[in-house]
Structure 1
Amino acid sequence: MYQEYFDIKKEFYNHFHNQMTNENIMPFFYEIFVHGTAYVVGGYFRDFINKKKSRDIDIIVDVKNDLLIETIENYKFNYKINRHGGIKLTHNNIEIDIWNIDNNWAFKNNLVKLNEEDKLNSIAKGCFYNYDALVINLHNFSYSLRFYNEFIESKKLNILQERSIYKNLNPTTEANILRAFFLKDNFNISFSENTFYYLSNKIGALQDKFGENYFNRLIEVKDNYPKYQSLTPEKLKMYLIELKTNDLPNNQTLLNL
Structure 2
Amino acid sequence: MVNIATTPAALKQRIKRFFNTTNRGRQTVAQLIEQLQTSGKVYLFGGAIRDIALNGITAFSSDIDLVIDCSQDTLDLALLTLSNTSIKQQNIKQNKFGGYRIDTGKWLVDIWPITQTWAFKHTEVVYDNVTSLLNTTVLNWDAIIYDFGEQTLIHQPEYFNALAQGHLDLVLVDNPNQTGQAVRILRTLFDKQVHTISPPLARYLTRLIHLYGEAKLREYEQHSYRSRFLHSANWPILYLQLNQPPKNGRVEVDLLQKTMSLPLEAPISDEK
What's the TM-score bracket when you normalise by the shorter of the two chains? Answer: 0.7 to 0.9
Bigger mean CA deviation after superposition, 102-111 or 42-51: 42-51
Q: RMSD between aligned alpha carbons?
A: 3.0
Q: Pick from 202, 211, 214: which aligns with 2:208? A: 202
- State the distance in 2 between where 1:81 and 1:197 align: 35
* TM-score, normalisation: structure 2: 0.72
Deviations 1:88-144 (A, max 9, x none): 10123232011221221111224322223xx1x221222210121221011111212
Output the amino acid matched with 2:139. Answer: Y
Match of 2:197 in 1: 191
Paired residues in the alignment total: 232
* TM-score, normalisation: structure 1: 0.76
1:16 aligns with 2:19: yes
Q: Pick from 74, 79, 86: which aligns with 1:72? A: 79
- State the distance in 1 between where 2:133 and 2:24 align: 23
Question: What does 1:94-105 align with in structure 2 at a 5 Å threshold?
Answer: 94-105=107-118
Output the amino acid matched with 1:172. Answer: N
Output the amino acid matched with 2:244. Answer: N
Taking structure 1 as reference, are residues 238 and 174 closer, same or farther at Cα in structure 2, changes over 3 Å only? Answer: farther
Output the amino acid matched with 1:158. Answer: D
Where structure 2 has 5 or more consecutive residues not aligned to the other structure, the ranges are 83-87, 247-272
Output the amino acid matched with 2:167. Answer: K
Output the amino acid matched with 2:15. Answer: F
- State the distance in 2 between where 1:200 and 1:126 align: 21
Deviations 1:217-249 (A, max 9, x none): 111111123255133344245424543x4336x
Match of 1:182 in 2: 187
Higher helix share: 1
- Determine helix, strand or coil for the equivalent of 1:98: strand
Q: Pick from 42, 51, 56: which aligns with 2:46? A: 42
- State the distance in 2 between where 1:11 and 1:242 align: 33
- State the distance in 1 between where 2:194 and 2:25 align: 37
- Determine helix, strand or coil for the equivalent of 2:223: coil
Match of 1:29 in 2: 33
- State the distance in 2 between where 1:37 and 1:20 align: 24
Question: What does 1:132-171 align with in structure 2 at a 5 Å threshold?
Answer: 132-146=142-156, 148-161=159-172, 167=173, 169-171=174-176
- Determine helix, strand or coil for the equivalent of 1:39: strand
- Determine helix, strand or coil for the equivalent of 1:224: helix
Question: What does 1:97-116 align with in structure 2 at a 5 Å threshold?
Answer: 97-116=110-129
Q: Pick from 56, 60, 82: which aligns with 1:51? A: 56
Output the amino acid matched with 2:163. Answer: I
Deviations 1:188-217 (A, max 9, x none): 4332012122123333433xxxxxxx3221
8 Å Cα contact 1:39/1:136 also seen in 2? yes
Match of 2:263 in 1: none
Deviations 1:54-99 (A, max 9, x none): 3531111112122212222222431222333331101232320112
8 Å Cα contact 1:112/1:125 also seen in 2? yes
Taking structure 1 as reference, are residues 81 and 57 closer, same or farther at Cα in structure 2, changes over 3 Å only? Answer: same
Give structure 1 regions of 4+ aligned residues with deviation exceeding 4 angstroms.
Answer: 3-11, 19-22
8 Å Cα contact 2:25/2:107 also seen in 1? no
